[in-house]
Structure 1
Amino acid sequence: MNKRTFLKTSSVLAAGVAFPQLFSCKEKMPPRTNWAGNLTYSTDNLYTPKTVAELQETIKKVKKVRGLGTKHCFNKIADSTENQISTAEFNKIISLDKDKNTVTVESGIKYGELCKYLDDNGYALFNLASLPHISVAGACATATHGSGIKNGNLASTVVALEFVNGKGEIVNLSKEKDGDEFGMAVVNLGALGIVTKITLALQPTFQMKQIVYQNLPMAALEKDFEAIMSIGYSVSLFTDWKNKNISEVWIKSKAEDIKEIAPEFYGAKIATKNLHPIEALDAINCTEQMGVAGPWYERMPHFKMGFTPSSGKELQSEFFIPFENAYAGLMAIEQLNEKVSPHLFITEVRAIAGDELPMSPMYKKTCVAFHFTWKQETEEVLKVLPFIEEALAPFNPRPHWGKIFTLKPSVLQSRIEKLADFKTLMTKHDPEGKFRNEFIDLNLFGA
């Protein structure tokens, strides 16, 4: 089997959500790929409705369909062999409620397009992912996250959402009125319908500083993992699994909380220039470091809002385990350093607060996340992943819904406490299974 055939047929690889062509109706197009280029989508049929009415009409007339956002997934979660619907035209800010401290936006808007508006109006989001170029609905549907032991994933700030279900009906759910059904629908994997708008909780705007340290011995994490991950508003550890070393520690803090910058941090030394997470790469597109204050949205991501990343020749995987197992999980992966390092660009270690969203990997538990940015060596990565999954098995790891994993469906399903309830909700809103695809069928229903 050649590489192209493998990527089109693999049940665990080939990815995500696509930069849409701005057509108001279906168009015949050249083959489209995800951001990383590791997937060619399985259909040429892409719809880009401009109104909810057009979206309803499209959903009613097709037999099978999946939604597309900004193509930053690395597996087949958004793929379809028949039809895809882009939310590119659903990209507006609808309203800002200063009484309830919420903002309502259309689903396809990118975080980078929303943040300055919020800041100009005195508000901030609670968290951002490392890239600000992803759509709000896509990020929430897959429980995408930033970092911070007290910060939930991006979906945890959703307080209301609207979607068009498999019957073409407009459905509105809110945290206040719809309780369990709402919570079940937020991290929806695109399996209930196409989200059209989302309401997010806000906090007052703030200034932020980012400080980077280099070469933290992994041994320092054995007794002080929680203290290290709690030192800032958001903390990220980067390692290539060589020499039992954390190559970089990125600490993002509210400016008011930084009184002075220490030259050392648990044995790590303060960086003397801006750094890329992969030290050998130019940091020009990374957010400002060196303790320079700036708006929250210009510090919380790792990469600048104004910089749109080109197709990244990489693959990504990520696994979540309970935070209390963080150091044990770290050491379990470290034992695999000779298998992992040759195929790796970098691993990022983050903490994420627990939430009340049943399909989220952080459901009811604060987690540590091990995020692997791989070289685009598909066959080799697929061989390494089972070793990582097995090493973390004592801690019941959950994968990121939008990244590459090889867990057996039965094992994954056993780790989703309320999977039966989610399937019931799928039947309610999509009785004909229009939004089911290979990824959903395999991972939620497969043996």
Structure 2
Amino acid sequence: MSERNWAGNVTYRAREIVRPASVDELTGILAREPRVRVLGSRHSFSRIADTAGVLVSLSAMRGEVEVDAAAGRARVPAGLRHGDLVPALEAAGVALANLASLPHISVAGAVQTGTHGSGDRIGALGTQVAAVEMVTAAGETLVLRRGDDDFAGAVVGLGALGVITHLTLEVEPAYEIAQTVFEGARWDDVLSRLDAVTGAGDSVSMFTTWQDPDAIGQVWVKARPGRADHDALRGIGARPADGPRHPLPGIDPTPCTVQGGEPGPWFARLPHFRLEFTPSAGDELQSEYLVDRADAREAIDALRELAPRLAPVLQVCEVRTMAGDDLWMSPAYGRDTVGLHFTWVPDPDAVGAVLPLIEDALPASARPHWGKLFAMDSATLARRYPRWDDFTALRDRLDPDRRFANDYLISLGL
């Protein structure tokens, strides 16, 4: 088998990919296969989904999205992509408080790796999860609900605890958002008023290429009606863009969601890219480090110092925020967080050379995104996750024979 991930930097070693159409078929696979990993939409840039055993794709276990609008819940097949989930929610008149910035990643894959959108008051995608349904290594169906002892350990489970079959997500009545892109902001001004800038909307993203260590190329402000504070941007000299923009300078903005302050449905503004577009052909690599919000200035200043080393291998860097959570293996666990996301050129050697520089320069609160590229070792990771030992104990209970382990997780001490 020579299947690859979306970016093409990982060739899976599995001898085959199997696609069960039911929980019974999945249970049969787990009964006969000693080593299993689950494959989502292949958007992970790390080897987190790799295995020498069998890869299980949930693409054939679609089922229906079951919406209970009165209860504010939607039960969702794990393998469904966000772009396919949205129509079902729209038809029921409900919405999610948060979406990933890319529409083509799977719901469970995004949650299991700690993926997030952005917003001072918005948690990572896993904070919307009210229940997790999985099949364990023993072939048993396990349902964990918010408030259960193991729930907070299972949501961002890294595929190490079992095969997620369904997630129950919190939903709310559908709403509109408007999006405005600003240009001309500078880091010194933003850092002096960070709370005002990141609070200028429900979701705020800042993009820079680090070609100029003092400049921010674009600030994207997404806000529900009545929540935008564009004066916070104008007050630091930023100005609305004179037309639609792509996060990467000079790129056709057609795939991007509508800007210019025009209100539209939540799902047509929260992501950076329209649901009907795949953002690129995969000609990129990605890393992300998430730091304590209290360390934001130190982290940004460290990247400014590294700008001459970053810029030659960087396409764009996105800085955004998220609310803290209680999910054990979430990079936002226990603190409000600032995410430093890097979209690199597709050169693994060049990217691999700068990652240790970034990690050495960032404050000790930095935690990497599990599905992206990083160099941090297992001892450092264990120190940065207060519930690390609790998670490994949970893994030992649910998968004592390490059937869901792979070389990648083992190398991280997981």
> Which has the higher mean CA deviation after the structures are superposed, 434-443 or 36-45?
36-45
Q: Does the Cα contact within 8 Å between 1:359 and 1:419 map onto a contact in 2?
A: yes
Q: Is the CA contact (8 Å cut-off) linking 1:37 and 1:311 kept in structure 2?
A: no
Q: How does 1:148-297 map to 2 (within 5 A)?
A: 148-176=119-147, 178=148, 180-243=149-212, 244-258=214-228, 264=234, 266-297=236-267
Q: How does 1:8-407 map to 2 (within 5 A)?
A: 30-176=1-147, 178=148, 180-243=149-212, 244-258=214-228, 264=234, 266-392=236-362, 394-407=363-376
Which amino acid counterpart does residue 137 of structure 1 have in structure 2? A
SS in 1 for 2:300: helix
> Any unmatched runs of 5+ in structure 1?
1-29
Structure 1 residue identity aligned to 2:121: K
Q: How far 1:242 sits from its partner (Å)? A: 2.4
Residues 389 and 263 (structure 1), Cα distance of their counterparts in 2 relative to 1, 3 Å cut = closer
RMSD after superposition? 1.5
> What TM-score results when the alignment is normalised by the length of structure 2?
0.97
Count of aligned pairs between the two proteins: 413
How far apart are the structure 1 equivalents of 2:196 and 2:84?
34
The Cα of 1:260 is off from its aligned counterpart by 8.0
Separation in structure 1 between the aligned mates of residue 62 and residue 36 of structure 2, nearest angstrom: 20
Q: How far is the alpha carbon of 1:424 from its aligned partner?
A: 1.2
Give the letter for the 1:378 counterpart: P
Moved more, 147-156 or 259-268: 259-268
In the alignment, the residues of structure 2 paired with residue 310 and residue 275 of structure 1 have an alpha-carbon distance, to the nearest angstrom, of 15
Question: 1: CA distance between counterparts of 2:86 and 2:30?
Answer: 31
**SS where residue 421 of structure 1 aligns?**
helix
Query: C-alpha displacement at 1:94, in angstroms?
Result: 3.7
How far residue 379 of structure 1 moved from its aligned partner, in angstroms, is 0.6
TM-score (norm 1): 0.90
Give 1:324 shift. Answer: 1.2
Pairwise CA distance, 1:222: 2.4
Residues in 1 aligned to 2:11 and 2:229: alpha-carbon distance in whole angstroms = 50
Equivalent residue letter for 1:240: T
Counterpart position of 1:413: 382
**Cα deviation digits, residues 416-441 of structure 1 (max 9, x gap):** 11111111111111111100001110
- Match of 1:66, as an amino acid? R
Cα distance, 1:207 vs. partner?
0.8
* Cα deviation code 1:131-186 (max 9, x no counterpart): 0111110011011000001000001110001101111111111114x1x3011111
* 3-state secondary structure, aligned to 2:287: strand
Aligned to 1:13: none
Deviation at 1:190, TM superposition (A): 0.1
Post-superposition shift, 1:81? Answer: 1.2
Matched residue SS, 1:304? coil
- Look up the match of 1:7: none
1:263, distance to aligned residue in structure 2 (A): 8.9
Contact 2:196 2:232 in 1 (8 A): no
Is the Cα–Cα contact under 8 Å of residues 132 and 303 in structure 1 kept in the other structure? yes
Partner letter of residue 87 of structure 1? L
Gaps of 5+ in 2: none
Q: Give, as a single letter, the amino acid of the residue that structure 1 aligns with 2:85.
A: L
